[in-house]
Structure 1
Amino acid sequence: MLRRYFFWYLLLFVASCTATTNNERSNNNSLLKEKDKLLFAVSDVPGLEELQRDYEPFRSALEDVLETKIEFFPVDNIVEATTALQLGLVDLVHVGPSEYAIVRARTNAIPIVALTRPNYLSIIAVRRDSGIESLADLKGKIIELGEVGMTANYIGPIKMVIDAGLNPQSDIKIVYSKDYQLKALKNGDLDAWGRGLHRYEVALQQEGVSESDYLILAKGPQLPHDVFIASSKLEPILVDEIRQRMLKNQDRLLQAILSVPMSASLLNSKFKGATLAPANDSDYDMIREVYKAMGEENFIK
């Protein structure tokens, strides 16, 4: 009996010590406080001037949240961001979903938190008089998408075609365009038009038409979101602390992102209604699936 009591007292003592140690670590031994600074980049914002214009409020808020100095590290594109991560020159990077799959393959960067966007999905539209009634009817047709690699304007529509049982390399002809206008669809140069839902809505407004003129043939599922990633050279326990602090203070961080005037940046409209959520590498498998289906595995190797 005495032995049993001793065993339970021992368990309580160990649990108490563990809790005390964890509290001391979180309150007194934060690894973040040992960092002189963290360097922060945004993959699609070239130049320091643009970074300061679009992300200074966020940088300042993140610095307060992490209780560590945050400095901008300008990169011109995703290639420079990837190289900087490989060389350990940058600590934190904000990337788009398709960019994440590419960066992860080359750097083993760690997803911290996702910056979710409501109604972030792709659509495929057709003319009202096209006679096309389902995605299966696109076989042998011409579809226009955005630039290769863009999540909502390229990855999303192709995933919809794949899910409909079509081979995107042989069953349809894909043409690409950097703009978001409906001109080619209107002129009959193509049969279908795939973009992000937001781009479709803007295109309708610019053309002065309604959804009844250019019907949504299908909507895709919610797409993977933008994500803040950490260099694989940072300690896992440090990355976890950054994640917990960002999630705990997400209202403050999101307010900072949205505080940039719309006249100066698209961030305000792009992330209106956004939230921060834990990010998992598996969330981006659908992007990898599309690259493989298109014979573009080199992007993710």
Structure 2
Amino acid sequence: MTMSRILGGALAVAIGLSAAAASAAETIRFAVTDIAGMENLQREFAPFQAALTRTTGYDVKFFPVSSRTAAVEAMNSKQVDFVLTGPAEYVVFRSKSNAAPVIGWQRPDYFAQVVVMADSAYQTVGDLKGRKVAFGDVGSTSTHLGPAQALADLGLMPGRDYQSMNISRNVAVEGMIRGDIAAVGMNFTHLQKIRKAFPDHGFRVIARGRDLPNDILVAGPHVPDAAVATVRTAFTDHGKEMMAAVLEGADDVKKYTGGVFLPKVVDADYDYVRSMYRTIGVTAFDSFVGN
């Protein structure tokens, strides 16, 4: 074998290795905390995946996770680069992985409420003192933390002023109709659904919280700044196109209808969520409540 062939072969190997490294660098892995399994990710986010690939030039790969905890562990082990998560989950991500905010995903009319029967004697939140108030899943932003904070903002604290319980929404509403439960915490969409599910009964909002912080796309600390900037630019420069792609998904993504992407999102935007955790007695944000 001649020296030129040896050098040529070595150069070809080097070029191949370089191309492989470049290809690896151009792949980003994307997860969603409340979507379990690859099939569900494909159904909800395949159009968005194609749009993000097109606008960034990266090869966007789905990384399904089975739980919020699994998503944090995957980020810490550098198995996933970008994660779309909710506001309650974000503060734990930030604490456990130092995940960086990339872009906010606005959910219009995303606020918590405390609902009573329309014909009940409860006219103000003060009337709920000593009563039973039901909430949704432990740690849920809009059915537990948010409604509890809405009451706290008006002076009522769980455990001290009322009896708090976490049960499924339909069971809670049925209990409220019977008079066993005074009020139920839920979000705006849930109230619309229960009015359809229980058309013979009237419901009234006794407390409404402020608009909740938005869902948020976060990046792992291992992701290069240039990649974060490229992804953020895709949302800022192609926002309408990206949102249209999001809304082509199946069901869960419809909650973003009418929303926009918010590039100025910062960690301090989620201090209200930290207040919610403190309201239910959680002062450290290093684990997911309700797991």
Q: TM-score range by the shorter chain?
A: 0.7 to 0.9
Are residue 275 (structure 1) and residue 260 (structure 2) matched?
Answer: yes
Cα shift at 1:237: 4.1
Structure 1: 4+ residue segments shifted above 6 A: none
| Alpha-carbon distance between aligned partners in 2 of 1:216 and 1:46, rounded to the nearest angstrom | 33
Which of 187, 190, 193 does residue 181 from structure 2 map onto? 190
Coordinate RMSD, CA, aligned: 1.8
Q: Which secondary structure does the structure 2 equivalent of 1:221 belong to?
A: strand
Which residue pairs with 1:219 in the alignment?
208
Cα shift at 1:236: 3.0
**Equivalent residue letter for 1:227:** I
Which residue pairs with 1:67 in the alignment?
57
Equivalent pair of 2:52/2:60 in contact (CA under 8 Å): yes
Query: Which runs of no fewer than 5 residues in structure 1 stay unpaired?
Result: 1-31
Which residue pairs with 1:236 in the alignment?
225
| Alpha-carbon distance between aligned partners in 1 of 2:207 and 2:284, rounded to the nearest angstrom | 29
Query: Which runs of no fewer than 5 residues in structure 2 stay unpaired?
Result: 1-21
1:64-98 deviation line (CA, Å, top 9, x unaligned): 11111111111111011000111111101111111
> How many pairs were matched up?
264
Are residue 288 (structure 1) and residue 274 (structure 2) matched?
Answer: yes
Which residue pairs with 1:28 in the alignment?
none
**Equivalent residue letter for 1:224:** P
Identity %: 29
Cα shift at 1:245: 2.2
| Alpha-carbon distance between aligned partners in 1 of 2:286 and 2:148, rounded to the nearest angstrom | 17
Q: How does 1:141-156 map to 2 (within 5 A)?
A: 141-156=131-146
Q: How does 1:114-125 map to 2 (within 5 A)?
A: 114-125=104-115
Cα shift at 1:33: 9.0
Cα shift at 1:209: 4.0
| Alpha-carbon distance between aligned partners in 2 of 1:169 and 1:286, rounded to the nearest angstrom | 20
| Alpha-carbon distance between aligned partners in 2 of 1:66 and 1:35, rounded to the nearest angstrom | 13
Equivalent pair of 2:100/2:220 in contact (CA under 8 Å): yes
Equivalent pair of 1:41/1:72 in contact (CA under 8 Å): yes
Which of 164, 169, 182 does residue 159 from structure 2 map onto? 169
**Equivalent residue letter for 2:224:** E
| Alpha-carbon distance between aligned partners in 2 of 1:92 and 1:116, rounded to the nearest angstrom | 17
Which of 25, 48, 67 does residue 58 from structure 1 map onto? 48
1:129-155 deviation line (CA, Å, top 9, x unaligned): 322111222221111110111111011
Q: Which secondary structure does the structure 1 equivalent of 2:54 belong to?
A: helix
Are residue 249 (structure 1) and residue 253 (structure 2) matched?
Answer: no
1:98-120 deviation line (CA, Å, top 9, x unaligned): 11111111001011111101111
| Alpha-carbon distance between aligned partners in 1 of 2:142 and 2:209, rounded to the nearest angstrom | 10
**Equivalent residue letter for 1:291:** Y
Provide the TM-score with structure 2 as the length reference: 0.86
Provide the TM-score with structure 1 as the length reference: 0.83
Equivalent pair of 1:146/1:180 in contact (CA under 8 Å): no
Are residue 297 (structure 1) and residue 283 (structure 2) matched?
Answer: yes
